[in-house]
Amino acid sequence: MAKDAAESRSTLYAEGTAAVSDKKHKKIPVEPLQPGDRKFTLEQLNAFSAEAPGSQQILLSVLGRVYDVSTGRKVYGSGGKYSLFAGHDGTYNLAVMTMKKNTLDMFEYELDDEDKCTLSEWIAFFDHRYGRPLGELVDRRHAVHWKDLPRPSKIPFSGDDDDEEEAGGNAALDAGGLAGKDAAGSPKRSRL
């Protein structure tokens, strides 16, 4: 059943965007999946954290795109390595690879070209791993828009790239995948 859902998300991703094949013949998205129609305020998103009483769904936002990451409960749920992202917009944190709580829900910032590339790859990751976003944040706007980002060169931790092998197989995916490489292919340093 989980395999069918993953294949369905992959199919949706491949069909939902134009794709370009690289030398390894994997599909790289040209643009992100179109979000669903649901509208969220930041306050509403905060109610879907792993710590929220009675919360069955775990939601997070990347560039205002709200994803249901409930299937990643081990990672984003209470006590999970990346639970700080649950119920928050993690755009800045993902772009600059930081785990600082005080930079969650940040909407005014500057990103350099490397940060924009990293953010683009994270959007590809969430689209690929969790499918079409449920909707968007409507009461906040980011300093950048997805159209300002370069096309991702890969979908991190999709099982199609070398990062997963080098990071220890599925351990990187299970851990939420906060690792990566810079444009030269060297391991990217976390700014924790």
pLDDT at 26: 55
Provide mean pLDDT across the span 127-139.
Answer: 96
Q: pTM higher than 0.75, yes or no?
A: no
116 — pLDDT class (breaks 50, 70, 90): very high
48-83 pLDDT tens trace: 987 766 668 999 999 999 999 999 999 999 899 999
The residues, ordered by sequence, that sit 6+ positions from 79 with a Cβ below 8 Å of its Cβ are none
The CA dihedral of 177, 183, 184, 188, to the nearest 10 degrees, is -40
pLDDT at 161: 46
**How far apart (Å, rounded) are the C-alpha atoms in residues 58 and 48?**
5
Residue 10 in contact with residue 1, Cβ under 8 Å?
no
Check pLDDT > 70 for residue 175: no
How many other C-beta atoms are found inside a 10 Å radius of the C-beta of residue 59?
27
**How far apart (Å, rounded) are the C-alpha atoms in residues 137 and 35?**
10
Angle between helices 2-16 and 113-130 (to 10 degrees): 130
DSSP letter string, 62-115: ETTEEEE-GGGHHHHSTT-TTGGGTTSB-HHHHHHT---GGGTT--S----HHH
How many other C-beta atoms are found inside a 10 Å radius of the C-beta of residue 181?
19
Provide mean pLDDT across the span 109-118.
Answer: 96
Mean pLDDT of the chain: 76
**How far apart (Å, rounded) are the C-alpha atoms in residues 66 and 136?**
5
Structure tokens, 73: 């409960």
- 12 CB burial (10 A radius; 0-12, 13-18, 19+): middle
Provide mean pLDDT across the span 150-179.
Answer: 54
